[in-house]
Structure formats: C-alpha cells, structure tokens
Amino acid sequence: MVNIGLEKAQKLKDKNQIACGYFYQARYYEKLGPYKESIRIYKKALTIFRALDDTAQVSRCYYKLGFNHFKIAEYDIGLNYYFKSLKIDEERNYKPGIALTLERIGKLYLNTGYFYKARESFERSLAMFIELKDDYRTIMNEQCVAVTYQKEAMKFQNDSLFNKAIDLYKVILPKTSKISPEMYASLLQNIGSSYRFLNQYENSLEYLKKSLPVQVELGLHKDSSHTCNDIAETYLDMNQLAEAKTYALKAIDLAKGFDLHQERYAYYVLYLIDEKAQNYPSALANYKKYQILEDSIFSLNKTNKINDLRIKYESEKQRLTIENQKSNIALLDAENNVKTQWLIFGGLGLLSIFLLITISKSKNTAKKEKKQQEKFAQDLMQSQEKERTRIAKELHDSVGQKLTLIKRKSQNTDQIELTNLTNDALEEVRSISRGLYPALLKELGLSRSIKQLVDEYDEQTKLFFTVDIDSIDAYFTESAGLNFYRLIQECLTNIVKHAKAKSVAVTIKKEKESIITLIADNGKGFNVEDSKKQNTLGLKTIFERIKILEGQLSIDSKLNFGTNFILTIPVKNES
C-alpha cells in the first residue's frame, strides 16, 4: 500500500506527498529491521522536506534517523541527529517533540554508560511530560530515572545507589497499577532484582512473586518466564534447591514457543541446581537441552562442558583407574632405571648415540603430532563456520522469505492474530540466523558488529556492560574478522555462564603493530594455574582461535577478584 501511494504521488509530481511516501516507506523498513535501508529512504524524505522548508517534517526525519542509527550502534551519529531534531523543536517551541527527543537522548546515554547525562535528559523530559499532563510518559521517564541509578549501582557495586533506585521504584509503583499493568509488573520485577543484588533474598522474592501473577494474567510470556528464572536463581542462592527447580520448570513452560532466550536460560538454571545437588546424570541431560538452544542462539561449542559433566559423573571410577596407572608407571620407571644401568655399563658410547637419535625423533614426532592436532582443530572450526553460514543462509533465504510473504498476505486480509504470530516466528528465525552467522559483519563492519554484540548481551542478561572500541575493520580479512568476532563472543559467553559477575568492560584498541583487547569482569574469578581449566569453561576453543589469528592470550584472574582476558593480535598490513 505504501509503495502504491508513493507511485501515485510521483505520477502527480506532488513533492509533499512524495516525501510523505518516502517517510512511511522508511517506517515500513524500520519495522522489518533492515535499518540501513530505512536510513537511506528517510534521507530521501529529508531532502524533499528541506526543499519545501517544512521544519516540522524535517525534525521528524532527524528524530527517525537518530533512532535508526541508535539501533545499529552508531551512537555518535544517532546523537547528532537527535540534537538536530531537538534544536528545531525548541525553536518551534513544540513541547511534545522536545520531551520525546530528550527521552530518546536519555536512552542513548543510558545505553552507552553515561548515567549522569542520561539522568539529566530523563529529568528534563519528565518535567515537560508533567507539564503536558501525559501520565503514561511521565511514569515512563520516572522509571527511566530510577533505572539510571540501578545501572550505576551495578557498575560501581554501590549499595546506596541500589537503595536509591528501589526508593524511586516504590514511589512510582502505586501510579502504574491502573495506567499500565505491564509497567506495574515491570517495576515489581526491577525492585525484586535490585534486592537480589543487595543479597536481601526475602525482599527480592516478595516483589518477584507479586510481579509474576500480573505478567501471567497479561499473557506476557517473555516477562513471566524471566521472573520465574529470577525467582529460581534467588532460591538457588539461598540453597533451597527444590523451590528453585519448581520455578525453573515454570519458566520453561511459560517460555516454550514464545522466548528461546528464557527457555534456554531456565535449562541452564536447572543444570546449576542439579550440579549443586551432585545429581550429575540429570545435570548432563539439562545441560544438553540448554546447549541445543544455546547453539541456536549464540552458536557456541558445547563439547567441552558436556565432557566435563561426564568426568564428574564417572569421577570415582576414573580416580581408581588413574591411581592404578600411576602405580604401573612407577613400576615401569623402576624397571627402566635398572635396564638403563646395565646398558650404561655395557656400552655407554652406543647408548649415547642411540639416545640422541631417539630424542631427536621424539621431538620431531611430538612437533608433528602437535601441528596435526592444531590443524585438525582449526579445520574443524572452519568447517563449523561454513556449515553455520550455510544453515543461516537457508533460514534467511527460504524460511524467512516464506514467513515474510505469509505476514504480508495476512496483513492484507486484516488477520491480526496471524500477523502477530507470523511476526514472532519471523523474529525467532532471524534471531537463530544471526546467531549462526553474524550477517551484520558485512553490513556494519567488525567494530560496530562487536558493539552490537555487546549491546545484545546487555539486553539479554542482568550484567552491566561498558564498551570502548577503536575502528579496527581495516586490519582484518573477512575470515580473520569472523574468528575475532567469535573470540569476543566466546569470552563474553564464558563470563555470562560462569563468572557470576555484575559488570563487564570490553576495550579494543589499535596500538602500534597490534590490536589489544581487554575483557574484564568483577566476577568470582578462578585459578589460572589449574591445568584442568584449560579444557573447561570454553577456554580450549578460545586458545584455538587465538592460534588461528597468530595472537597471544593472557588471563589474569584470582578467586573472588574477577578475571581479565588480554588478547594481543599482531597486525602486519591493513587488509
């Protein structure tokens, strides 16, 4: 319909209608998700509105361009467009536009870790919405102010800021019950989450359990499953494993068919519960279910963790086997020592020559075997990437296109429920496809794709992420760039799964002949010297990727003092 209207406007040569046609066409693409395309078309509309000197529509275009650049992590460009829109609306004294743009600027600052500036923008927006008597957006901005305190508290581990956020949430809470039950439930969940960070588990459970029935009644499957997972984790922290399991299973029931992320995470919580209860067969089964969904979303290697569970499950048997092997080795060593003494007496010179040849051959054989093992691991990773790319392409080109066609047809026949279901299915397919192969690498480039990846982890987890990335696209080939992207992804996933951290900082800098990457968390840490860790926690895959990139990995970690991953990738020439 939008395209038909645009074509008619072009035939009539009505510039205002043509510009409006471009604007609504851009909005259509914005809803579908190819933001580069919507940006391109918004700029067409902007050019015509400028020529017509229609300042109101020019402001709208600037606002929309800011929003779309924000969605693809081009925060500096997005902020520039927001300020242009704000300037025009201030000159026009158009208060609804000023208030809404200030709210968006606040969200951009919040997303990039500038909490004070975010709070300043939200408070200005809040004052204007109060003046405009817009109750819904007033409460929305009050909530956003509270969120800035909560995020800041998570970053700096500041209990007083958590308490400040909780106090603000509680002030807002009574206002929301009639205006927006959904927001009311969200506030209850935020309060419960904040209490959990303060280790006030009983208070946390009180608010989370108030939130849950409201979310269930509203049919908010994603939110209700998220709350069940929060409750399960709280009981897990309290070592009440039976209650934790009950809510993890509820989370699965609520999420199934609606939210892969929460369903996946519920299986992970079940695995943690069973592992804590030393029920390793059940832990293994739940981890396998979790990993099937994990691979669909994040495309991670699952072999190491499953093997680790099998080792635990058969630990007693292996312990006895190892002890027997040690005894046999000791006996063999003793026999070899006796034989060596006889050989020394029998022919010292001949033995020396023989030993030199043997040592040389052994070293060469060991080197050859090591190279073969490394080549096998690297070839395996490359073949996995090719298979992921193939499956992602098939999902996008076949299933995705068919769902898009169904969605368009259902829209034409006003079948709202079918349209919504198809849209949800389409989003899930896109999510799985993006996990299998990060298509944004080609569209956005490596640096912005990594920013987008960090933003996704920030949205999908309770951790607070900060990011500072130089432009490094020119220093990587397409293949090396994909490996570097996966390397960052695997480091972040390790932190999410194992570190029990509250905040993570990602810094990537170009320095002289190297790309230096620091990924730091404030989690529980681990003993780096423990050689067993090299084959668990996903570190083996990370080490293999570093070898492919001819780089170095340094891990600085102490128990209860967090972990720093320092990656050094040599740069020879710009690709």
Give the per-residue pLDDT at 119.
95
State whether residue 519 is helix, strand or coil.
Answer: strand
Judged on CB neighbours under 10 Å (0-12, 13-18, 19+), 54 is: middle
- Per-residue pLDDT tens digits for 271-329: 999 988 988 888 888 888 887 876 665 443 333 333 333 334 344 445 444 454 554 54
With CA atoms as reference, report the closest residue to 209 among 124, 528, 195. 195
Judged on CB neighbours under 10 Å (0-12, 13-18, 19+), 391 is: middle
Residue 415: band (very low, low, confident or very high) from pLDDT cuts 50, 70, 90: low
Least confident of 45-54, 164-173, 515-524: 515-524
**C-alpha to C-alpha distances, 389 to 260, 377, 437, 479, nearest whole angstrom:** 20, 18, 5, 12
Give the per-residue pLDDT at 174.
92
* Range list of H helices, 437-563: 440-444, 446-460, 478-494, 539-548
Write down the mean pLDDT value for the chain: 79
Residue 370 pLDDT > 90:
no
CA–CA separation, 561 and 555 (whole Å):
13
Q: Which residues pair with 519 in a beta bridge?
A: 506, 565
Domains along the sequence of the chain with CATH: 316-435 (no CATH), 443-570 (3.30.565.10)
Answer whether 477's CB lies under 8 Å from 517's CB.
no
Q: How open is the CA angle 252-524-562, to the nearest 5 degrees? A: 125
CA–CA separation, 562 and 521 (whole Å):
5
- Per-residue pLDDT tens digits for 109-142: 998 888 999 999 999 999 999 999 999 899 999 9
Give the per-residue pLDDT at 150.
92
Mean pLDDT of 526-545: 68
The listed range with the strongest mean pLDDT (17-21, 145-149, 325-329, 481-485) is 145-149
- Per-residue pLDDT tens digits for 442-459: 778 899 889 888 888 888
Answer whether 494's CB lies under 8 Å from 305's CB.
no
